[in-house]
Amino acid sequence: MMRLVFSLIFLWISTHSFAQEKSFTLEEIFKSRKLLPRFVQGFNWFSGTTYAAIEADEATKTVSIVLVNALSGEKEVLARSEDLKFLGRPIDFAHFEISSDKEHILLTGALPARRLKTGGEVYLYSRKTNLVTKLSRIKGDYEIVKLSPDGKKVGYVRNKNLFVYDIATGRETQLTRDGNANILNGVFDWVYEEEFSIIDGWQWSPDSKHIAFWRLDQSQVPEFKITQYDSLYLSFLEYRYPKAGDKNSLVKIGVVSVDSRRPQPVFIDLAENTDIYIPRLDWLPDSKRLAYQRLNRQQNVLELFFYDLEQKSSRLVLTERSDAWVEVENNGYYFLKNSDAFIWSSDRDGYQHFYLYGYDGVLKAQLTRGDFDDDALLYVDEPNQTLYFTSAKDSPLERHLYSVKFDGSQMQKLTSEPGTHSAEFSPDGSLYYHTYSSVSTPPKFYLRKKDGSLVRELENNAALEKTLSEYRMGKAQFLTFKNASGVELNAWLLVPADFDSTKKYPVLMHVYGGPGSQTVRNAWGAINLWYHYLTQQGYLVFSVDNRGTGFRGAAFKKLTYKKLGIAETEDQVSGAKFLASLAFVDKSRIGIYGWSYGGYMASMCMTYGNSLAEQVFKAGIAGAPVTHWKFYDTIYTERYMDTPQRNPKGYEISAPLTYADRLKGNFLLIHGTLDDNVHFQNSTALAKKLQELGKPFQAMFYPEQYHGIRGPARFHLHQLMTQFILEKL
């Protein structure tokens, strides 16, 4: 143990070691942009080796939409600010899309959603006529706006119905007619958006002749009301939110021809059992078939089907099963264009790996194997039968680019710099847009050839690195320790710039800990600047990835099934005890902080965790916590806990409310009153319970704030938490 301690002292990752004199202020961190990294604005691959981007002129306060030849750097200006006006006024757009012939540019806003959703006002700019047409002329809510692949039409959802606009004729065709507040065509309900990470509820066929779409009937889903306090007599935010064990939306998949004079959607026969999910839907390259994934309510059986448009029938291709839950992948599958085969990601052998299947469902090859998890599928080079992807092969803390042949041979690592790498390949696969960062390196953006050779640096954030070099940044170290069961856990420890191993320091533990997540990553932002600020106040900051987190294999992640919070809390307690064993830690001053699932974990640690043996946490901050899983949504909760009807004991032992009588230490409870994700009722239920038990605690609520605290209130939040830490820890 002591040999490990000494190694910690001498192997700190010093991020900026030159003339560090200045100390951070909360105002600089939360009110200024000078400490934020720069990103490449509006980068999108267009065709071949050409990408689209937005160029801003700071002097004239104007922007241009340009196409850039990635190899030569030559630019073609497609539109300038003076072109993008309607009735003499500049168009305020958040998203643009260029037609394949470069003749038209679609301009849309961004709508509030779980992720970026195009919509709002919709405009179409013609480069040929230099005119702007407003497509959102008819009053209504416009959502999910997209050009067709051939660039001749625009599809969109208005008032929960699908429409297509023909650019040449200016004619609008309505594709569905039953949309209303409860019948959603081409858009999703709250829980699909949040838990399946999908916004786009309809898809163009590759030949632009059909649209496939989700239809959700949420009329049976209970309605949830959130009080808004910004008016004299109050008002309510009302929406459909299925809590664990309640009814979900009924899902259908429809297909409709966009060229028909009287479009009539055809709905796929999905199953006799309607209590299912359809988390993914994709066209096959031939435009004649659809691939859809069907997931049972318990989320332990996932089936891949192919639907034939002409025969109007489905065929089961592949089935995934699990004793716990099956992961629904975002970037884990790809349908080859030149052969009847597809790439598929699965953890069936205990780790997340890639497989090559034929359309007949027969396995052709396992492409990757070993005791590591692969991450995202990036590009499939069909002529050379090569898959490009990111993986945690070297370490769960890092992501590197790899390639492998379709027969599973010649797996090659393509990046070497320690940290986190990602890539977006050009349409022809000859180049990729490379993003890199580490815990000590702000994001850097490059264009590279497929072999990894540098074409051009797009942004290196050198200015930010220079600015940060003037500050007394903390020193970070990645480390491992064993929990009470002998399982090795990953962690990081941040110490002050002037760290003195002969002193005793208080420690704040940062926790998230949710299924498949990670806080211990070698990536920029894994250790935020507020934690560096706390080191300047004389604190250490520590984080550990407990059992249940990601990229340690399926067994490590799924161990928490049906009993969330138990093993995770025990591991956080093990982390606190590990800290207490270090000579430079004041074991009487260890605290814990987390938000969302991390807020749940902080609540569990201050109640259940502090009752496991002696009290290990002196103080805890729980932001937006789940306090009983009966309060949370169906898809997320049941994936990990099953339903409360089938697993009542699991729900009870996993709830901070159950252990409220065991609260020890200084506890701060925080929540936004408009939180539509983890409802404010979670915190009011815990507060009520603690009050009934006579347990002292502190609380802060943020009116008109959602799951994340934004705007001026975010500065107030960190003032509050900082003061609590200084006074109570």
Is 353 an active-site residue? Answer: no
E strand spans, 58-116: 62-69, 75-80, 85-86, 89-90, 95-98, 104-111
- The answer to whether 590 and 579 have CB atoms below 8 angstroms apart is yes
Number of DSSP helices (H) and strands (E) in the chain, helices first: 12, 46
Nearby residues of 15 by Cβ (< 8 Å), 6 or more positions away: 439, 440, 468, 473, 474, 475, 476
- The answer to whether 168 and 101 have CB atoms below 8 angstroms apart is no
- The answer to whether 80 and 64 have CB atoms below 8 angstroms apart is yes
DSSP, residue by residue, 341-399: EEEEEE-TTSS-EEEEEETTS-EEEE---SSS-EEEEEEEETTTTEEEEEE-SS-TT-B
Lookup: tokens for 636: 């997320």
Q: Is 71 helix (H, G, I), strand (E, B) or coil?
A: coil
How far apart are the C-alpha atoms of 41 and 44, rounded to whole Å? 9
CA atoms within 13 A on the CB side of 470: 8
How far apart are the C-alpha atoms of 186 and 188, rounded to whole Å? 7
Amino acid at site 453: S
Angle CA(114)–CA(115)–CA(118) in degrees, nearest 5? 115
Nearby residues of 409 by Cβ (< 8 Å), 6 or more positions away: none
How far apart are the C-alpha atoms of 37 and 53, rounded to whole Å? 18
How far apart are the C-alpha atoms of 557 and 549, rounded to whole Å? 5
How far apart are the C-alpha atoms of 602 and 591, rounded to whole Å? 9
Is 596 an active-site residue? Answer: yes
The strand pair at 44-47 and 50-57 is best described as: antiparallel
How far apart are the C-alpha atoms of 211 and 205, rounded to whole Å? 6
Q: One of 64, 596, 603, 654 is an active-site residue; which one? A: 596
Active site residue ranges: 596, 675, 707
